[in-house]
Amino acid sequence: MASAGDRVEERGEKARARELERALEREFSVVCFAWDGTAVAHRGADAAAVRSRVERLTALGVDIAVISSAGVREVDHHLGARPGVEGRLFLFLSRGSETYVVGPAGPRLLERWRATASEYEGLDEAAEALCRRLASAGLQVDLVRDRLNRRSLDLLPDWAGLPGASALELRREVDARLNAAGFPGGLEEGIRLARDLVREAGVAHAAVTSDARHIDLGLTGKADAMHAVARVLVAGRGRAPEDVLVVGDSFGPVADGQGTDSAMLIPELQRSVFVSVGQEPAGVPSPVLHGGGGPVRFLDILHDQLAMREIVAQTSFPEPTDDPGWRFEVKGFDPFREREVETWLTVANGETGTRGALEEGSAISTPATFVAGVYGDGTGDPAFRQPVPAPDWTGLRLMADGSLVTLANGEIVDHERVLDLRHGVVYRTWRQRLRNGRTIRVRTARFASLADRELMAARAEAVPEDFGARIVWQSAIGVTHAGGSIKETEIDILEDPPGLIARTRGRNGGGHVLAVTTSPAPGSPVARMPQQARDVIGGRLEQGDPATVDRLAAIVSARTRVPSPEVARHALERARDTGFDALLERHRAAWDAAWAAADLRVDGDPEDQHALRFAIYHMISTAHPEKDTVSIGARGLGGMSYFLHVFWDTEIFVLPFFIYTQPETALTMLTYRYRNLPGAREKAARMGFRGALYPWESADKGVETTPPYVYGPDGEQVPILSGLMEHHISADVAWAVWEYWKATGDDAFMVDMGAEMLLETARFWVSRAAEDEEGRYHVRVVVGPDEYHEGVDDNAYTNVLARWNIKRALEALAWLDDHDRARARELRKRLKLAGRELARWRRVMEGYVTGFDPETLLFEQFAGFYDMADVPLERLRPRPMAADLLLGRDVTLVSKVVKQADVVMLCHVLADEIDEATTRANYDYYEPITSHGSSLSPGIHAAVAARLHDVAEATSYFKMAAAIDLGDNMGNAAAGLHMATMGGLWQAAVMGFCGIMRRGEALRLDPQLPAAWSRVRLPLRFRGAQLHLDLRRHGDGVDVGITVAEGPVTFRLDGVDHELTPGAHRLRRRDGGPWRVEAL
C-alpha cells in the first residue's frame, strides 16, 4: 500500500504532467532546441526522423533554431535538413559564435564573431596550464584547439563506454577519474581551476562550461546563441517570447554543477516555454517543465507541433455532399468515355468554363477553359468567328521520389469524381498503387467562382499511405487542346503573387489575361520553389502526411483587345489575400442563393430529380447575370461544338428558365440581343430586307457567324443554309421579348429596349413577305426548325410566329403611346415609322399564310408537306435517331420525316393562343413521324404531351431528353453540353408536368404529375411576386400549396382569374373537378 508521501508525490507528478501537456497543446512560431542529448542521443545516432520533422515544420512556416557547441560541418552533416525555402531553419553553432541559415542549397553563413589574436593567446595559455595540472595528477586529457573562440579539454579520450552514454553517466565517470587524481570536488573543482587559470591569463569575459565530458574555455556560450535567437527570430520578426518553445536535456544541477542547458534561460525569453527531455535527477529550475524521455520524447514534441498544423490541411479539405440527389458521380476511369466525362464535369460561372479534365492529364485528355464573349477569326476554310480559349490553368503533375504519378504508372486502386451540384465543385478521389508497390492517395477539388466570376480555384492533396518520400507538385499553364482563333499567347513569370501570367490575343478580335499562382495549403508541410514556367511545391513527407496545394487563377477579358495584365494580377492578389477556403465559402453561398431561386425538388423518382438538377446546374453556371456582351451558346461553356455561338436555343429553350427563376439574368441575355440589333439590321439589309434579321449563329459582333459550308467526306463543299434561310430566329427573339415582359412586368425594359426589338423584327417580317395574286403573303425559301427540309415555302412555325411578331409589335407601340409618349415619338422618328407603313403592317399580318386547316385543325408544316412520300414508321424506330444519316439525306428531303418539334414547337410557344384541340390534332399527326434527330426535340414533346394529359408518353420523352447528356444517347456529349435540352427538361417539368404556364398576365395551373412523382416543390418569380409551390399527389387529385411574397399574383383556374395576396394558400382538385382555393 502506497504511503502518504508516495501519494503526494504521485499527485505532484500528475499535476506536473498536466501542466506540461497544457503548455504544449498550442502551436509555437519558433522551436529552439539543443542538438546533442536533446535531438540526438549522440553524434553517431540516426537523425532522419529529426530531419523529416524539421523540414516539414519549416514548410509550415515554423522557425527552427538548433543550438550546438559543434561547428557547421558536424551539425549540418548530421541533421542534413534542406527546407524548400531559405529563412526558416537556423543553426546557432560554436556556442553562439556563428549563425547559419539553411535553405535548399544548404547552410549559408549569416554572422560570425571571431576572437582576437591576443584573446586566442590567453585561451591557449589557460588551456595548456590546465592540461599540465591535470596531466601532473596522472589524468590523460586531450586539448582540442580547432574550436571557434574556445579551447576544449576532452576528459574521456579513451573511455570505452563513451558511445551512447548519457550526461549523467559521463559526469559520474569524469568525477570518478578526477577524485582518483586528487580532485575531491570532481568536475566542479576542475571548472573552478579553469576559471582561475583564465583570469590569470588575462582573458576578459571568458566563459568556462562543461558538457560533462569536456571543459571548454571560451568567449561565447549557449546564452549568446539564445540572445541571437531572441534578436533574430523573436524581436526581428515581430513575435512575442510566448511564441517560443525551447527544448533541452540538462537544465538542472548535475552533482554540484549547473546543467549545460541552464545558460539557455535568458531574461529576454523568460515568458517562453522551456521543456527538458533529459533525466534531470536533481530536478529542473523554474520555469523549466520536465518531460523526460530523451530524444524520443523530443521527436514526439515535434510530431505534435506538426499534427496540430497538419490537422488543418487534413480536416479543411472540402468534401462533396453525401446527399445522392446532389451528386453526379463518375466511378472508375474509362478512356473511351473520358471526353464525355470532361464535358459533364465542366465548372463554369458565365465568365469561364473549364472542362473536367484530369489535372495530370492523359493521352486522351482534352483540357480547355473557354472565356465567354471572346472571339477571333478562325484560320481554316471557311473562316468564321471562333472562341479564343484560355491556356489550361488546371495542370498539376505529381511526383513521388522523382517518379511521375499518373493513372498509367502502376495500378488504379480507386478512382471517383463527383460533381457536387449543390455547390458547383468537382471533387476527385484517387488511389494509385505505383509500380514500386507503394500506394498514394490523391484528392482534388476545383470550382469556377459564382461569387467572384473572374476567379477559379483548385485544391490538390497527395498522401503517401504506406511510405515516406519526397512528394512534389509541379504546376504550369499550357496551351489548350481546344484550338480556336488564337493569334498569340505570351507567358511570363509573375512576381507578386508568385506564379505565371498569360496574355492571349485573338485574330482580329478580343483577348484575355490569365494569372495563376500555386501555394502550399494551410497545414501542409510543403514549400514553394519557383522555377521557370512552372511552380514546384513539395517536401519530404512521412507516411500519412498531406502534400496539399492551392491553385488560384484570375482571368480578365475584353471583346476587342487584350486587357491590362495589372487587372488580372490585382484580381489574383485579392484572391490570394482572401484564400481558398474563404473563396470557397463565398462560392458556396452564391450557389445557395441560386438554388434557393431555382431548385426543383421531385419526390418519388431519384433519376428524374438528378436529371433536373444536372440541367439546372449547367444552365445557372453557363449564364452571366451582369455581362450583357455575352449570352448562352448552344453547347454551353464545356466544349467547342458550335464554337460557343448563340442560336435560337437560348431564347426559346433556355431563357424561360431564367425568366421564371432569375429574371435579372434573363434581362441581361435579352440585353445582349438589343446590343446586337445593329448586326441584325445589317444582315436584313444585306439580304435585301428591312428591319432586323438576327443571325442564325451569333458571336461577339452580332453579325452572321454561321459557316457558309463544310467539306464532305469526299472533299466536296456542302453548303450550310441555316445562316441564309433559317429566319425564324428573329421571331424567336421577339417571342422572348414578349414572354419576358409579360412574365416580369418590367415596363422599363419594354420602353428602353423591348419595343424597338419588336418593331424592327416585325418590320423585317413585313418586308420578307411576298404577296401573291390573291393578296396573301408568303415567306418563301426558308428552313424551319425541321432542318431535314430546306428551301421550303410557308413553314408554319415561321409564318405563324412572324404574324404573331407583327401583331405584338403593333400592340407594344400602342402601349408605348399610352405609357411613355415621348419615347414612342422618339422611336417613330428614329425608326421612320409612318402611319402608312404601320397600316401596311396590319394588311400583311392579316394576309399571312399559316397553313392552318380549320376542318382538320392541322397546320401543314410547309407548303407541299402533305404531298411528300410516307416513310414506314418502323424505319423511324427506335428514337431518337438521325434519320438523315440512317435513311439518307436524299430520302429525308422528299419524305414526311420531321427532325424535331416544328409544328409541335409552335403549339408550345404559343400555348396561350393555340387551343388544346388544335394542339392535340397536330401532336397526334406529327409525333409519330418525328425522329428526334435533334437534342431540342424530346423535351418539348414531353411538355406538350403532359399538357395534353398524355402523362405516360410525356414521361417517356422526359427520360429520353434526360439521356441526351447523361446517357450520351446522341454520341456527341464530348463536344459540349446540350443547353436547349436542359431548358427543355425544365419546361417539361414546370410547364408540362406541373402545368404552370403563362396566360396573359396570369398563371394557368393544370398539374399532370408522372406516376412516380408524389410531390414537387419549386420557386417561381412572376410579375414581381415570389412564389413557392408545393404540389402533392392526393389520391385521385392534387393539392397545391402556394406561398406568395413581395406582391400579389393571379392564377387562372378553370378559366377564372383568382388573385392570391401575399401569404399562404392551398388549392385542391379532386377527380378532374374544379379547383377549390383556400387561404391559410
**Grouped pLDDT means (10 residues each) for the chain, 1080 residues:** 60 84 95 95 90 92 94 95 91 94 94 90 92 90 88 86 70 88 89 90 84 86 94 95 96 75 94 95 92 95 92 88 97 95 98 97 93 94 93 95 95 98 98 96 98 98 95 85 79 89 94 96 84 77 93 96 96 97 98 98 98 98 97 96 96 98 98 98 98 97 94 88 97 98 98 98 98 97 97 98 98 98 97 96 98 98 98 94 92 96 98 96 98 96 98 98 92 94 98 97 97 98 98 92 97 95 96 88
Whether 580 and 501 share a structural domain: yes
How would you classify residue 688: left for phi > 0, otherwise alpha for psi between -120 and 50, otherwise beta?
A: left
Domain co-membership, 80 together with 151? no
Say if residues 357 and 344 touch (Cβ distance below 8 Å): no
Residue 289's SS3 state is: strand
Among 279, 314, 349, where does a domain finish? 314
Q: How far is CA 530 from the centre of its chain?
A: 23
Give the three-state DSSP class for 995.
coil
Distance CA 118, CA 202 (A): 10
Instruction: Give the residue from 210, 1041, 616 showing the smallest Cα distance to 1051.
Output: 1041
Please check whether residue 884 lies inside any domain of the structure. Answer: no
User: Is residue 411 located within the same domain as residue 292?
Assistant: no
The answer to whether the beta carbons of residues 947 and 916 sit under 8 Å apart is: yes
- Whole-angstrom distance, CA of residue 657 vs CA of residue 625: 13
Rounded to whole angstroms, the Cα distance separating 794 from 810 reads: 22
Residue of 684, 677, 671 lying closest to 701 (CA atoms) = 677
Contact 316, 330 (CB under 8 A): no
- Is residue 410 within 8 A of residue 303, CB to CB? The reply is no
Query: Could you give the 3-state DSSP secondary structure of residue 808?
Result: helix
Q: Compute how many other C-beta atoms are within 10 angstroms of the C-beta atom of residue 790.
A: 18
Mark which of 574, 595, 616 sits at the end of a domain: 595
Query: What CATH number is given to the structural domain containing 542?
Result: 2.70.98.40
Cell of 226: 539564445
Answer yes or no: is 677 within a domain.
no
CA quadruple 916, 920, 921, 924: dihedral, nearest 10: 170
Instruction: Give the residue among 666, 673, 819 at the shortest CA–CA distance from 751.
Output: 819
Sheet containing strand 511-520, strands side by side? 327-331, 411-420, 425-433, 439-448, 455-464, 547-558, 511-520, 499-506, 486-494
Beta strands in 596-731 (DSSP E): 601-603, 709-711, 717-719
Q: Is residue 621 part of a domain?
A: no
CB 716 within 8 A of CB 710: no
How confident is the model at residue 763, as a pLDDT?
A: 98
User: What is the pLDDT, as a whole number, of residue 496?
Assistant: 85
Cβ contact 597:309 at 8 Å: no
Domain identity same for 438 and 567: yes
Task: Determine, yes or no, domain membership for 746.
Answer: no
What letter represents residue 750's amino acid? Answer: M
Nearest to 1059 by CA among 997, 1001, 1020, 1007: 1001
Residue 912 in any domain: the answer is no
CATH number, domain of 71, equals 3.40.50.1000
CA 684, chain centre distance (Å): 43
Work out the angle between the directed axes of helices 937-947 and 916-926 (0-180°, nearest 10): 140
393/355 same-domain check: yes
Q: For the beta carbon of residue 490, count every other beta carbon within 10 angstroms.
A: 12
Question: Domain range holding 70?
Answer: 24-112+220-314
Q: Do 266 and 325 fall within a single domain? A: no
Q: How far apart are CA 1019 and CA 1030, in angstroms?
A: 9
Q: Which of 314, 331, 366 is the last residue of a domain?
A: 314
Report the domain count for the chain. Answer: 3
Are 126 and 254 within one domain? no
Q: 456 and 401 in one domain?
A: yes
Other Cβ atoms closer than 10 A to 268:
15
Let me know whether 437 and 529 are in one domain.
yes
Residues 6+ apart with CB under 8 A from 846: none
Check residue 713 and give its pLDDT. Answer: 82
Confirm whether 229 is domain-assigned: yes
Residue 71 lies in a domain: yes
Cis status of the peptide bond prior to 625, with omega within 30 of 0: no
How buried is 654 (Cβ within 10 angstroms: 0-12 exposed, 13-18 middle, 19+ buried)? buried
Identify whether residues 201 and 229 lie together within a single domain.
no
Kindly state whether residues 484 and 518 are assigned to the same domain: yes
Question: In this predicted structure, what is the pLDDT of residue 14?
Answer: 83
DSSP letter assigned to residue 389: P
Max CA pair span of the chain: 141
Residues counted in the chain = 1080
Residues with a known catalytic role: 787
455 close to 348: Cβ distance less than 8 angstroms: no
Same-domain pairing of 460 and 519 = yes
